[in-house]
Structures are given as C-alpha cells and as structure tokens.
Amino acid sequence: MSSPHIAVYGATGHTGRLAAAELRARGRDVILAGRDGAALKALAEEFGGEPGVVVHQATLDDPAALRALAEQAGVLIHCAGPFTHTGEPVARAAVEGGCHYVDHALEQHHTKWIFDTMQEPSRQAGITMITAMSFYGGMGDLLAGAVAEGLTGIDRVISAYAVTGWRLTTGARKTAELLFADTRRITYEDGAQHVRYVEPRNAVFPFPPPLGPRTMIAPVPSSEVVTVPRHVSARRVEAQLTAHTFEEEQAFTSEHADAETRAGSAFTVAVQAVTEGGGAAGQAAGRDLWRLSALASVEAAVRLADGHGPERPGVYAPAEAFPPGPFLRDLERLGLFTLTLPGEAEL
C-alpha cells in the first residue's frame, strides 16, 4: 500500500464515503475519521477489514484527538460540514499535527478566515492547505482560472451553476440554511472585498446550448468572491445559481435519500470572464455533483501526498494550488463531466 496515510474526516457522511472509497480504489492507505466511533467501525467493516484502513474517532471539542489524527496522516481531507462550525478545529489540528489539509468548504467566511488566519501558521508548519476544493465554489474557481488565462482588463468574472436533482444531505441542508440566513455576505466589487447585507436579485445567465438562458439567484454566497481574486485580476466576481434548484420537491427533505438517488443530480457550471473587447467562457457539464466533490478533493490530496503540490507551503485556492486547466482535464478523464475551455467556446 502507498504511504503516507490520507485521512478523511467526516468519513461516514456521503461525500466522505465516496472519497474514502476512491482512495482505496487507488490503493491508498486511509484513516476513517469522525465523531461517531461505532459508525466509523461499521464503515471499516464495509471495506472488508483491509489492513490499509484505520479508524480514528475525534470529536470537534477534543483538540488532542484531532491533533493525533493529523500526526498520523500525510494529508487530511475535511468533509464534515457545515464548515462554519467544523472548519476551525480541524484546520488548526492539521497545522499543529503537521499534515497537509484539503476541505470542501463553500462558506465565504470560513474561506476568508482560513486565508486570513492560517497563512502564516501553515507556512511555519511547512504544510499546504487547500480550501474550497468542492463542487460549489471549487469548480467556479478552477474554471475561472482556466478561462481567464491570458486575459487582461477583466471587468467581471461570473460563475453560474445550473443544477437539477440535487438532494441535500443533513450537512448540506444545515450549510444552505446558514448561508441564506447570513446578513453579512462577502462580495467583490470595484476591485475590492466588501462585507455587508446584500439583497438577492433575479438575473439571466446565457448558458450555451442545449441548456440556454436560465433565471438565476444572484449573487449566491459562495467562496469564489474570496478565492478567484487571488489569481484573477477583475473588477467584480459573482456566483449565481439557477432559481429552480431549491424549488424542486425534496431538495430540502432528502436527508435520508440513498446513494443512487443522490447520484442523479445533473449540472452545468459555466464561467464568463468579460473584458471590454469581449472575453472568454468555459463550462463543465455532467452528473452527480457529490462524486465530483469527493474526487476533486481526492485528486488534490493524492497530489499533495506524492509531493506534487505547490512549491511553497501556505494556504491556496484550488486554481492557485494546481494549474487549473490540466487539473480540470484530469477530472474530465475520470468521467465526471465534459469540459469546454476557451478556444473551444468563446463569448
């Protein structure tokens, strides 16, 4: 088996299970970690008691157990949201234990906190921390990096998510409720970050055929407003989501849906980088946003474990940590989506 171990915190959740299964399929040693010891042992048994699978129970209010987890791992994938509540103790443990860190957070304030607070500690610890490596936020960041490459004078970057059949887990439902109740949202306008109340509006985003224009909620409180300006120079960054996504029956009442039902989501993520002279666009269209989230974090963790991460330690957005175009192409080769980048589809 490969070394070092890759830990999955929140391994018994839907995304955590997918990430752990993918790591085992790649022959990686895995630490199944989380708050419920009995559930973790049951999950380990599902893997057949393989020697490359270790169980580690660590609650969020037990910093010693979290640090012990990080000390055993080369990389820690954090899958247990909402990150508003879970992000800080696990991220701090990764720094204290000296292991690389990847999380699935889309929450703006957690993303800002990890850049503002953990940059210097991660550098001193000699580790890489990648935040927002997920479907929401992460795909927008990666596509923005790939679409904006070579462009100058960018007025705005818009990431638009068209999602149908999304079935929220308990963690995702709690995250959505927190995000939409937040009155202090982060925006990026006029080349600067702002924190204030934002009145959502309806907008129309021109998705390419066959999807076509769709009515959107704009803005949605996703992490792109924090991550994209780190590597793309633009006056404005905004994320949007199709208005019908949360109108679908069972979106908020599907906590106990089975894995097959959850895999039925369909998505298109499109990004426009608009300049005075035109701009560029790209998109990824596929199915099962949960699997995409899990495998994106696995791709990042495996690279870090194998020494193929950024040259310098510190905190990174997805498109800062890895060249975004090649990273997206690697995800496409896993059958997660069909990718179209500039030169193949222009604004």
For residue 306, the domain's CATH number is 3.40.50.720
What is the DSSP pairing of strand 314-316 with strand 53-57? unpaired
- How many whole angstroms separate alpha carbon 37 and alpha carbon 43? 10
Do residues 30 and 122 both lie within one domain? yes
347 in any annotated domain: no
Do residues 144 and 276 both lie within one domain? yes
Do residues 308 and 276 both lie within one domain? no
pLDDT single digits (tens) 277-302? 899 999 999 999 999 999 999 999 99
Do residues 271 and 313 both lie within one domain? no
153 in any annotated domain: yes
Average pLDDT over the chain reads 94
Residue 285: CA count within 13 A, CB half-sphere = 12
Position 253 scores a pLDDT of 81
pLDDT at 165 over 60: yes
Position 3 scores a pLDDT of 59
Do residues 297 and 275 both lie within one domain? no
209 in any annotated domain: yes
CATH of the domain at 255: 3.30.360.10
pLDDT at 317 over 90: yes
Position 344 scores a pLDDT of 63
Position 100 scores a pLDDT of 98
Position 256 scores a pLDDT of 81
pLDDT single digits (tens) 88-126? 999 999 999 999 999 999 999 999 999 999 999 999 999
- Number of domains forming the structure of the chain: 2
Residue 106, number of CB atoms within 10 A of its CB: 29
345 in any annotated domain: no
Do residues 180 and 86 both lie within one domain? no
**Residue bearing the bigger pLDDT, 51 or 265:** 265
Do residues 91 and 209 both lie within one domain? no
For residues 193 and 187, is the Cβ–Cβ distance under 8 A?
A: yes
Domain interval for residue 127: 2-133+293-324
Provide mean pLDDT across the span 151-166: 97
Of 202, 64, 151, the residue nearest 346 (C-alpha): 151
Q: What is the DSSP string of 191-256?
A: TEEEEE----EEEEEEPPTTT-EEEEEE----THHHHGGGTS-EEEEEEEEETTTTTSTTSSS-TT
Do residues 266 and 146 both lie within one domain? yes
Confidence class of residue 238 from pLDDT cuts 50, 70 and 90? very high
Q: Which two tokens stand for residue 184?
A: 């202090």
10 in any annotated domain: yes
Residue 187, number of CB atoms within 10 A of its CB: 18
For residues 11 and 37, is the Cβ–Cβ distance under 8 A?
A: no
Position 246 scores a pLDDT of 86
346 in any annotated domain: no
Do residues 309 and 239 both lie within one domain? no
For residues 320 and 309, is the Cβ–Cβ distance under 8 A?
A: no
Position 48 scores a pLDDT of 86
276 in any annotated domain: yes
Q: Which residues pair with 214 in a beta bridge?
A: 205
Do residues 93 and 22 both lie within one domain? yes
Do residues 64 and 76 both lie within one domain? yes
Percent of the chain with pLDDT over 70: 98
111 in any annotated domain: yes
Do residues 142 and 234 both lie within one domain? yes
